[in-house]
C-alpha cells in the first residue's frame, strides 16, 4: 500500500499570547514554538499504522519553510520512508486553494492508494486542503475520519457528524481521508530513530518543479484581535448580599 501524508508545521498558539505583526497580515512568530499540526500528527500515525499492517511505504509531504524539515525528520523517525518539502517561500502568499493546488501537482506524479491529511490546521483553520486535493485528483474523499480500515481495495471509514452522530462509509481506493484527532494515539519517535532520521536526506521541491500556474482564489486582507467588550462585573458585599445580587442578575438574563 502506497500512502502519502500531508503534514504542516504550525505555531503552538493554544497557550501563547498571539500578536499581529505590523504588516497586519501575519502574526508575530519569534516567541512562538512550532510543531506538527495536531490533526496531522494523527494522520501521520494513521499512515504508519496502515503501512505496518499492509506493507508498502509512507511519503510525508510538507509545504513549509526550511524549519518544516524538522517536522519531516520526526515523521521519518516515526516510520515514514520518504520525506519531501515543498518550499513555501517560492509560493507565498498562500490560501487553501493554492496550497492544495501545489500539493496536487506533486502528489499526482506519485504512487498512492491512500492519501491522508489532518481535518483542520490549527493556524488558519481552513479545512479545505484535503478535499480540494481529492477533487483535483478526481478521487473520493472523506473528512473528519475517526476510524479507518482497509478491506479488499476498499476503505471502511467512520466519520463524525454534528450532534454526536457517526457515519460509516465504504469508499473505493484510491481515496483521500482527512482525519480527526483522537483516531489513534500518535507515537513518539525513539532517540535512535531520531538519530538515524537526522542523517537522512529530505528532498526539496520549489517553484520550478511545478508545472502550470498556481494562483490563490482569496486574498488575506487583515488579521486582527477582536475588540474586547468589558462585561465582567465583580460583586461585593457579604456572602448574603453577593448571592442575592447574583440571583438577581441571573433572573434578569432570563436564565432562571
Partner 1 sequence: MGLIIFNDEQTLIQNEVKKFVKDKLSPIADEIDKKEKFPEEIITTLTELGLMTIMVPEDYKGAGLDCTSLCIAAEELSKECASIGLVMVVNNCLVGYALSRYGTQFQKTQYLNSLSDGVIGGYGFCPEINNPERLLKSEKKGGNFVLSRGNGFILNGAVAEFILFSNFQEKKFLLFPKQAGLKLKNQYILGMRSAGIVRFEFNQIEVPETSSFSFDNKVFDLAYIGFSAVGLGIARAALDSAIKYAKERKQFGRPICEFPMVQELITKMKIAVETSRLLVYESAKCFDNNEDSSLIANITRVYVTETAVLCGLNAIQVYGGYGYTKDYPVERYLRDAKTLQVLLGQPYLAKSLIAKEILL
The residue whose grid cell reads 500539493 is 103
Nearer to partner 1, 139 or 194 (CB): 194
Binding residues for partner 1 restricted to 154-193, rule: CB under 8 A = 188-193
Nearer to partner 1, 166 or 235 (CB): 235
Under DSSP, the state recorded for 12 is -
Q: Is residue 43 near partner 1 by the rule CB under 8 A?
A: no
Taking the C-alpha atoms of 91, 97, 100 and 104 in order, what is their torsion angle to the nearest 10 degrees?
Answer: -90
Q: How far is residue 101's CA from residue 119's CA, in Å, rounded to a whole number?
A: 17
Q: Where are the strands (E) in the chain, listed by range? A: 2-6, 9-11, 34-36, 57-64, 82-87, 114-118, 141-151, 154-160, 166-172, 175-179, 203-205
Q: Is residue 31 near partner 1 by the rule CB under 8 A?
A: no
Question: Contacts with partner 1: how many residues (CB under 8 A)?
Answer: 15
Q: How far is residue 106's CA from residue 86's CA, in Å, rounded to a whole number?
A: 9
Nearer to partner 1, 28 or 66 (CB): 66
Q: How far is residue 99's CA from residue 127's CA, in Å, rounded to a whole number?
A: 12
Q: Is residue 32 near partner 1 by the rule CB under 8 A?
A: no
Q: Is residue 135 near partner 1 by the rule CB under 8 A?
A: no
Nearer to partner 1, 191 or 208 (CB): 191
Nearest approach, Cβ of residue 192 and partner 1 (Å): 4
Under DSSP, the state recorded for 212 is S
- Per-residue contact track with partner 1, 67 to 96, x per CB under 8 A? ---x--xx--x-------------------
Residues that bind partner 1 (CB under 8 A): 35, 70, 73-74, 77, 188-195, 197-198
Amino acid at each position: 500500500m502506497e500512502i502519502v501524508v500531508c503534514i504542516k508545521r504550525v505555531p503552538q498558539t493554544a497557550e501563547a499570547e498571539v500578536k499581529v505583526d505590523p504588516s497586519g497580515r501575519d502574526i508575530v512568530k519569534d516567541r512562538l514554538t512550532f510543531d506538527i499540526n495536531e490533526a496531522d500528527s494523527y494522520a501521520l500515525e494513521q499512515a504508519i499504522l496502515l503501512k505496518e499492517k499492509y506493507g508498502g511505504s509512507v511519503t510525508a509531504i510538507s509545504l513549509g519553510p526550511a524549519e518544516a524539515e524538522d517536522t519531516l525528520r520526526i515523521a521519518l523517525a516515526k516510520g515514514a520512508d520518504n520525506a519531501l518539502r515543498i518550499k513555501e517561500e517560492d509560493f507565498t502568499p498562500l490560501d487553501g486553494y493554492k496550497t492544495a493546488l501545489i500539493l496536487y501537482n506533486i502528489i499526482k506524479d506519485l504512487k498512492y492508494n491512500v492519501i491522508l491529511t489532518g481535518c483542520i490546521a490549527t493556524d488558519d483553520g481552513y479545512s479545505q486542503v484535503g478535499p480540494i486535493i481529492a477533487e483535483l485528483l478526481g478521487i473520493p474523499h472523506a473528512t473528519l475520519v475517526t476510524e479507518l480500515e482497509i478491506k479488499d481495495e476498499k476503505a471502511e471509514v467512520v466519520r463524525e457528524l454534528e450532534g454526536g452522530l457517526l457515519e460509516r462509509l465504504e469508499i473505493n481506493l484510491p481515496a483521500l481521508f482527512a482525519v480527526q484527532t483522537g483516531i489513534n494515539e500518535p507515537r513518539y519517535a525513539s532517540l535512535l530513530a531520531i538519530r538515524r532520521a537526522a542523517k537522512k536526506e529530505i528532498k526539496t521541491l520549489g517553484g520550478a518543479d511545478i508545472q502550470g500556474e498556481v494562483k490563490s482564489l482569496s486574498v488575506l486582507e487583515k488579521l486582527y484581535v477582536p475588540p474586547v467588550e468589558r462585561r465582567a462585573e465583580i460583586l461585593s458585599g457579604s456572602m448574603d448580599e453577593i448571592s442575592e445580587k447574583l440571583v438577581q442578575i441571573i433572573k434578569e438574563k432570563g436564565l432562571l
